[in-house]
Structures are given as structure tokens and as C-alpha cells.
């Protein structure tokens, strides 16, 4: 086996895995009912799928002898921004109360972002 054949096989496997995970993430986004459940499909499976597709692109460029830094930067940006956007979407759903709220904190008033003083009560300083 030559190195180009191994790179071509790894590229094909990476592209197939990326396509499957991207499809599963898209399907989960459409079929899951709760906003918090729906959040996991594109952030987990979709990120892994797009990451695998970009890995296939990196391997294909290496196989052609034209390595590129652009795909590496895209992967780094993707894996940094996906958790941040998921966190913001989760916070919006919690504050809008459009999903099940988390359990009340036990002996701690700083755990939950939903811990607000009753109406008319002075704010703690």
C-alpha cells in the first residue's frame, strides 16, 4: 500500500463518518421535541460531523501535496464557538422558561441563574 492510497482511504472514511454524523444531527434537530433536547443534536453530532468533513478535506489536500492552514483554522474556530453558542441557547431557554427548569439549588443561592429576589424585596448586596 502506498501513502496516497492510505490517505485516500482515510479521506473517504472521514467523509462518510462526517456525513453520517451531520445527517444524525440534522435529523435530531427536526425530530426532538424539547428545546433543550434539540440543542444537543446540532452541537454534538453536527460539530463532530462538520469536524470529520473538514478532516477529510485536510487529508485530501495533503494527498494532493497542497497542505492548507485554512481547514485547521476552521476546525479550531468550530470547536471553540460551538460550546459557547450552545451555552447561550441554553441560557435563553432557561430564562424564557420554555423548557423544564433545573432543580432548585440546595443550600446555595448562587448556583442557578434563575435565582432572583421576590418582587418588591431588596436586592442582596
Domain ranges of the chain: 3-96
Identify the pLDDT of residue 87.
83
Crossing angle of helices 47-64/3-31, nearest 10°?
160
Within 10 Å of residue 12's Cβ, how many Cβ atoms? 13
Cα 57 from Cα 71, distance rounded (Å): 7
Does residue 83 contact residue 48 with C-beta atoms inside 8 Å? no
Can you give the pTM of this predicted structure?
A: 0.69
Question: What are the pLDDT digits (tens) for 53-65?
Answer: 999 999 999 888 8
The alpha carbon dihedral of 119, 122, 124, 125 has a sign of: positive
Question: What are the pLDDT digits (tens) for 81-115?
Answer: 888 888 887 888 777 776 666 666 566 555 555 55
Amino acid at each position: 500500500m502506498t501513502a496516497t492510497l492510505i490517505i485516500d482511504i482515510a479521506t473517504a472514511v472521514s467523509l462518510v463518518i462526517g456525513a453520517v454524523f451531520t445527517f444524525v444531527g440534522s435529523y435530531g434537530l427536526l425530530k426532538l421535541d424539547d428545546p433543550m433536547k434539540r440543542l444537543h443534536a446540532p452541537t454534538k453530532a453536527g460539530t463532530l460531523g462538520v469536524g470529520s468533513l473538514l478532516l477529510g478535506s485536510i487529508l485530501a489536500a495533503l494527498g494532493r501535496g497542497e497542505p492548507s492552514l485554512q481547514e485547521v483554522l476552521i476546525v479550531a474556530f468550530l470547536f471553540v464557538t460551538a460550546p459557547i453558542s450552545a451555552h447561550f441557547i441554553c441560557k435563553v431557554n432557561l430564562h424564557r422558561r420554555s423548557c423544564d427548569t433545573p432543580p432548585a439549588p440546595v443550600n446555595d443561592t448562587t448556583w442557578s441563574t434563575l435565582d432572583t429576589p421576590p418582587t418588591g424585596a431588596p436586592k442582596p448586596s
